[in-house]
Amino acid sequence: MPRFKDKVIVVTGGASGIGAATVDAFWQEGGRVAALDIRERPDRVPDGVRSYRCDVADETSVEGTFDRVAMEIGDIDVVVHSAAVLGGSGPFHQLSLDTWNRYIDTNLTGSFLVSRAAASRMVAKATKGRIILIGSVNSVASERGAAPYASSKGGMRMLTRSAAVDLGPYGITVNMILPGPITTPATRENFEQPETRRTFERVLPGGLPGSPADIAAAALFLASPESRFVTGTDLMVDGGMLAQILN
């Protein structure tokens, strides 16, 4: 029997990349999936998946969308929060406040809004649910020209712990997945460049980036009964990148 038969799954950032792969993975496991995104998915969603427009940085949009999901699909069991502003932003001393706010508003405040919307409904329905945030290796280590992104993802890491502590008494687990380099429509062109390939050969023990399906598989585990005693922690899915010291 599919592991998530009749469970209601909400995936933000569900139109592409990691989010789309996560939508498909839960659907294949029998879940009733709501794919939330600020834009339409470029390909047709599978039958049984419902798409919703949602801006995770906007409280009204998040609350209204979660209300619609509960009304149209059912009480929410699992939330996987993948929506994010990605990429570098330039040297620290040249950053504008607008640039800083764009990353913080979507990545950190958006994580709070989505997690709170999920948690409040789970608590109200006595649902022993799962909240899974998609972070980054930049949650624990920065790189040049990425201060707002790394700061927002680092903040998400502490948000995960704080929410897990507060929600544990209700049987709700909160965890974070930290992807390393993942080939998506947004990264494919850069990842195919010879210089980038040489970098991966150096920094990744296996030499190759991961796929969105690798992150979706981690989300399936954290949403499963087998992860009942796992909460407030990170699952590093980075191909060993942060495990090695470069010579």
Give the residue numbers marked as catalytic: 149
**Calpha distance 49→27 (Å, rounded):** 7
Distance of CA 12 to the CA centre of its chain: 7
Helical packing angle, 212-223 and 17-28, nearest 10°: 50
In angstroms, the CA 137 to CA 143 distance is 10
How far is the C-alpha of 166 from the C-alpha of 202, rounded, in Å? Answer: 41
Q: Dihedral of CA 142/147/153/155: which sign?
A: positive
CB 176 within 8 Å of CB 132: yes
Chain centre distance of CA 82: 3
Instruction: Report the distance separating Cα 33 and Cα 31, nearest Å.
Output: 6
